[in-house]
Amino acid sequence: MAEMRGFLRSDGRKGIRNVVVVAYLVECAHHVARRIVTLSDDMDVHLIGFPGCYPNSYAFQIMTKLCTHPNVGGVLLLSLGCESFNREALRQVVAASGRPVETLVIQQAGGTKATIEAGRAAVARLKVLADQTPVVPMARHELVVGTICGGSDGTSGITANPAVGRCFDWLVEAGATCIFEETGELVGCERIMSDRAVTPELGAEIEACVQKAERYYTIMGFGSFAPGNAEGGLTTQEEKSMGAYSKSGSSPISGLIKPGDIPPSGGLYLMDVVPDGEPRFGFPNISDNAEIVELIASGSHLILFTTGRGSVVGSAISPVIKVCANPETYTRLSEDMDVNAGRILEGKATLDEVGAEILGLVEAAAAGDRTVSEALGHQEFILTYKSFEPVGPACLPTRAA
């Protein structure tokens, strides 16, 4: 198998991809940005953006972290001109990170056609500069891997999720950073989870953040539970939670982060994705890709996505590896899946075997192999409004130590 290699960034982090992102800063610039990406016809030119015209510090933070993500080698900012997004502040952060960055303002560039033309030329320049990034060997401990489940059913928590948990255990053992998330899908697991925290204070923070999630979802009127979950045999939120929880494996929990926080060291981290304060902007995560974007904003090089009902999504910026939990779903959607964890249910493979297969695919993706969703051109992206307070000192005991 090919060796893992990374694109070395000025902050010392290494990327497993060298993507040029085209980022629209308001929905009004979305079409122009999309045309630039489409016309570039390049698998490593991706579209990201924020649709809102009103300012939001969370969205600014996430866009900043994405544009300086280790997998990103160059940035084109696409502004209409009158939106409130602070494009100059974002440009400065990207420039300070050593990445090539250009800004186009549609109102100044002469409208749709002229901006698309200018954007295509800008992407070509950015590609040339990004291609000069040094490529260096990468070790397992330098990996940051996030996990999410989507379209869960009664098989997810028996096959794909615990298999990802095995893979996470081996990665953490090697010194890598692993992130699991969606505290709304951990309702019912809070006590079991807090027992795994490296300090009692962190355990208390974990319990509090799950209680916050439960309260938030109760006000919204729905748990993190879709009709397909019930059709797949899951009955309650806490049942879905226990299955989702098994993705975390069995390592101690080293910290609690919020979207965009970069874990300070290797280990297993829980990401608190539920906004702080009274609900203001609606559901915490309106679909799976909102969670994937947050995992990537916290530095994830790639995402392990487990699915029972059968999701087909990928993501902008970081490759997604799809682990199919249900053997019947795999039969229908095999061309969209990287791993058939349903073999565990059929007695044809063990959890360890599937966990090892996932780890092998992680390393292959980090050596440059395209994942299935990546090769199919999936580059989903969504970012909406949220508000967060910074994490407290008890949440990151390793940083305090």
Residues in the site for another protein, rule: CB under 8 A? 153-155, 157-158, 187-189, 192, 214, 217-218, 221-223, 225, 227, 229-230, 232-239, 242-243, 246, 308, 326-328, 345-347
Taking the complex as a whole, how short is the minimal distance between the CB of residue 198 and another protein, in angstroms? Answer: 22
Taking the complex as a whole, how short is the minimal distance between the CB of residue 150 and another protein, in angstroms? Answer: 15
Judged by beta carbon, residue 155 or residue 300, the one nearer another protein is: 155
Query: Three-state SS for 148?
Result: strand
- Secondary structure in 3-state letters for 332-391: HHHHHCCEEHHHHCCCCCCHHHHHHHHHHHHHHHHCCCCCHHHHCCCCCCCCCCCCCCCC
- Which residues have a Cβ under 8 Å from the Cβ of 157 and sit 6 or more positions away? 240, 242, 243, 244, 246
Judged by beta carbon, residue 60 or residue 283, the one nearer another protein is: 283
Judged by beta carbon, residue 149 or residue 242, the one nearer another protein is: 242
The radius of gyration of the chain's CA atoms, rounded to the nearest angstrom, is: 20
Taking the complex as a whole, how short is the minimal distance between the CB of residue 310 and another protein, in angstroms? Answer: 13
Inter-residue contact 22 to 78 (CB < 8 Å): yes
Judged by beta carbon, residue 32 or residue 158, the one nearer another protein is: 158
CA torsion angle 75 80 86 91 (round to 10): 20
Taking the complex as a whole, how short is the minimal distance between the CB of residue 192 and another protein, in angstroms? Answer: 7
Categorise residue 110: left if φ over 0, alpha if ψ from -120 to 50, beta otherwise.
left
Judged by beta carbon, residue 175 or residue 327, the one nearer another protein is: 327
Sign of CA dihedral 324, 329, 331, 335: negative
Taking the complex as a whole, how short is the minimal distance between the CB of residue 189 and another protein, in angstroms? Answer: 7
178 bridge partner residues: 145, 268
- DSSP conformation letters of 189-223: -HHHHHTTBSSHHHHHHHHHHHHHHHHHHHHHT--
CA 17 to chain centre: 14
Taking the complex as a whole, how short is the minimal distance between the CB of residue 328 and another protein, in angstroms? Answer: 6
Taking the complex as a whole, how short is the minimal distance between the CB of residue 236 and another protein, in angstroms? Answer: 4
Taking the complex as a whole, how short is the minimal distance between the CB of residue 161 and another protein, in angstroms? Answer: 11
Sign of CA dihedral 248, 251, 253, 254: negative
Judged by beta carbon, residue 137 or residue 282, the one nearer another protein is: 282
Question: Both tokens of residue 204?
Answer: 């208390």
CA distance readout (Å), 372 to 334, 359, 361, 365, 369 = 10, 15, 11, 10, 10
Judged by beta carbon, residue 119 or residue 243, the one nearer another protein is: 243
- Which residues have a Cβ under 8 Å from the Cβ of 96 and sit 6 or more positions away? none
Judged by beta carbon, residue 225 or residue 381, the one nearer another protein is: 225
Judged by beta carbon, residue 24 or residue 216, the one nearer another protein is: 216
Taking the complex as a whole, how short is the minimal distance between the CB of residue 374 and another protein, in angstroms? Answer: 28
